[in-house]
Every structure is written in structure tokens, then in C-alpha cells.
Amino acid sequence: MTSKKKEGPVNTGEFPSKQTVEFARGQRHDASAGHLCLRFFQRDLRLAVRSTGQWLNPLLFFVIVVSLFPLGIGPGPATLATIAPGVLWVSALLAMMLSLDSIFAHDYRDGTLEQMVVSGNPVSVMVIGKVMAHWVTSGLPLVLLSPLLGLMMQLPSAAYLTLVVSLLLGTLSLSFIGAIGAALTVSINQGGVLLSLLVLPLTVPVLIFGSSAVSAVASGLEASAHLSLLAAIATLSASLAPIAIAGAIRIGVAASR
């Protein structure tokens, strides 16, 4: 296969040894699912790190939205403390919505999504890698920053751990459920608003269990029931959503002109 070709004008690199070519050729399909998922996870992570805007914007949005509430409702510590769980959770939910359509939109526009569908590898495995990368780049920063904003909202000190744990589980489900909406609206040019319209009703259970977990602990109650339900939703969405996402991507790709 590597017969001598007529050299192009500039030819610095000489040809690699025969052994490389044979070795590389044989690897077409032994990449295991985990390896495949990891590859797309690393790829998206590398992309996110390179364009800081992608993970910084949801974070800044989260901070600004949370700080709007005391301005709107008044700085009274008592009132702030009661609404703190709800405010933190709703702002985190909206911040996640903001960054959702970037999961597939760029890949759709430059043709990479097509190549994923046509590559012969299972699309749902690649999707898991991509959604996990989205969770790490836009979900985790929110979780890490939430205690700070909890302080701002006069959240009782007992509730910080629950806040972090509930947001951790919640943002995971939000990433997967949101990714379904992102995949469904990938071929629509201003799909952003429609994406939220489709996804928000589906995120209500996560919001309810999440914020009630934090407010339960804030008022001294036990929140293990809420957190276990959150974990259940997280596992349910992490296992079922990729199938729907893969189906939606196949449709979205076929819809483009």
C-alpha cells in the first residue's frame, strides 16, 4: 500500500516503517466501548479547555442570577434563607440550559456529527462521552461554586453539604435530559429557546427533589430520602437518555440539507 508516490513539492517526513502501517490498520474496530467513550470525553474536554467561554459563561450566569434575587427581594437574612435553596437550584438549572445546545451544535455545523453517525461505532456510547464532558465543564463548576453563593444567600450552615451533593446528582441528570433536547433541536438554527421549552418540563422532578432536599436539611430535617430519589433519577437518565439522544442525532443529521 505504501508504494513510492511521486513526491510533492515539499517532502520533509520520510515514510514510517511498514510495521506501523500494519499495526495501525488492524485497529479498526477493536476499540472497546469504554475506550470509545473516553476518546470523545477527552476530545470534548480538550475543546472546552481551549475555548474558556464555553464553561465560564454558565458559571458567570449562575453567579449573576443568584445575586439578582437579594437585589430584587431585599437583603433581609430571614427571607433570603428561606428562598435560598429554591433560588440556588433554579439558577443552576437555568445555567445548565444555557450551555446545552453547544454540545452538538458545533459538531453538527462542521460535519463531525455526521462522521460520528457514519463511523460504524455505536452513537449512544460516543454520546455518553460527550454528555459527561458537558457535565464536567458546565455542571461541576456550578457545584463547586454553590457553597460560596449559599453564603451570599444566608443559607444555614447545616445545608451546604446537602447543597453540593444534591447539585452534583442533579446537574448530572440535567446534562443527560438536556442533551435529549439538544439532540432533538440540533438541525434547527435558533433551536436554543425551543430546547428549553422541550427540556424544562422534564427537569421538574430534579428541581423538586433537589431544592426540597436542601430546604429540608436547612430546617433541620433529614434529606436522605430526597437524595436517594435524586440518585435514582440520575441513574435512570444516564442509562435511558443516550438511547433517545442517539436516535435524535440520526434524525437530525438526516434532516440537514
Partner 1 sequence: MSSSATLMLEAQGIQIWRGEHLIIDDVSVSVPASSIVQIQGSNGSGKTTLLRALVGLAEIDEGQLFWQGEPMTRVRDEFYASLLYLGHKPGITAGLTPYENLMALCPEIVANQTVEKETRKWVLAVLTQLGIGDRIDLPSVALSAGQQRRVALARLTLQQATLWVLDEPLTSLDAEGQRWVKQQIQQHVATGGSVVFTTHQPIEFDDETVITLSLAQPS
Partner 2 sequence: MYRFAERLAPWLAILCVLTLAAGLYLGLVVAPADYEQGDSYRIIYIHVPAAWMSMFVYMVMATSSAVFLIWRLKIADIVAVASAPIGAAFTAVALLTGSFWGKPMWGTWWIWDARLTSELLLLFLYLGYLALRGALESPQSASKAAAILAIVGVVNIPIIHFSVEWWNTLHQPASITKFDKPSMHISMLRPLLLMVLAFQLLYFHNLMVRVRALILQRENRASWVAELAEKNHV
Positions touching partner 1 (CB under 8 A) are 1, 3, 5, 7-17, 19-21, 23-25, 27-29, 31, 39, 43, 46-47, 50-51, 106-107, 109-112, 114-115, 117-121, 253-255, 257
Q: Are the C-beta atoms of residues 115 and 185 closer than 8 Å to each other?
A: no
With contact defined as beta carbons under 8 Å apart, do 40 and 124 qualify? no
Residue 51 interacts with, from partner 1, partner 2, none (CB under 5-8 Å by kind): partner 1
Residue 13 beta carbon to partner 1: minimum distance, rounded to whole angstroms: 4
- 98 touches partner 2 by CB under 8 A: no
Residue 240 interacts with, from partner 2, partner 1, none (CB under 5-8 Å by kind)? partner 2
Of residues 217, 202, 23, the one with CA closest to residue 96? 202
Min CB(169)–partner 1 separation in Å: 30
Q: How far is the CB of 156 from partner 1 (least distance, A)?
A: 43
Residue 205 contact partner, candidates partner 1, partner 2, none, CB within 5 to 8 A by sort of partner: partner 2
Residue 251 found at the interface with partner 2 (CB under 8 A): yes
DSSP letter at 4? P
Nearer to partner 1, 36 or 94 (CB): 36
187 vs 65: CA distance, rounded Å: 29
Question: Is 193 strand, coil or helix?
Answer: helix
Close Cβ partners of 114 (under 8 Å, ≥ 6 residues apart): 253, 256
- Computed from CA positions of residues 199, 200, 206, 210, in that sequence, does the dihedral angle turn out positive or negative? positive
Residue 238: closest CA among 176, 167, 164, 183: 176
Task: State how far the Cα of 203 lies from the Cα of 94, in Å rounded to an integer.
Answer: 11
Q: Which stretch binds partner 2 (CB under 8 A): 68-76, 97-105, 148-156, 205-213?
A: 205-213
Query: In the chain, which ranges are continuous DSSP H helix?
Result: 18-25, 33-50, 53-73, 77-100, 102-110, 112-118, 123-134, 140-152, 160-184, 191-218, 224-255
Task: Name the residue nearer to partner 2 (CB basis): 48 or 216.
Answer: 216
78 binds, among partner 2, partner 1, none (CB under 5 to 8 A by kind): none
For residue 57, which amino acid is it?
A: N
Q: How far is the CB of 175 from partner 1 (least distance, A)?
A: 20
Least separation in angstroms between residue 145's CB and partner 1 is 25
| C-alpha 187 chain-centroid distance | 19
Q: Per-residue x/- mask for partner 2, residues 148 to 187, rule CB under 8 A?
A: --------------------------------x---xx-x
User: For partner 2, which residue of 168, 214, 223, 248 counts as binding (CB under 8 A)?
Assistant: 248
What are the Cα distances from residue 99, in Å, to 1, 71, 178, 192?
A: 45, 25, 10, 10
Residues that bind partner 2 (CB under 8 A): 180, 184-185, 187-188, 191, 194, 197-198, 200-202, 204-205, 208-209, 212, 229, 233, 240, 244, 247-248, 251-252, 254-255
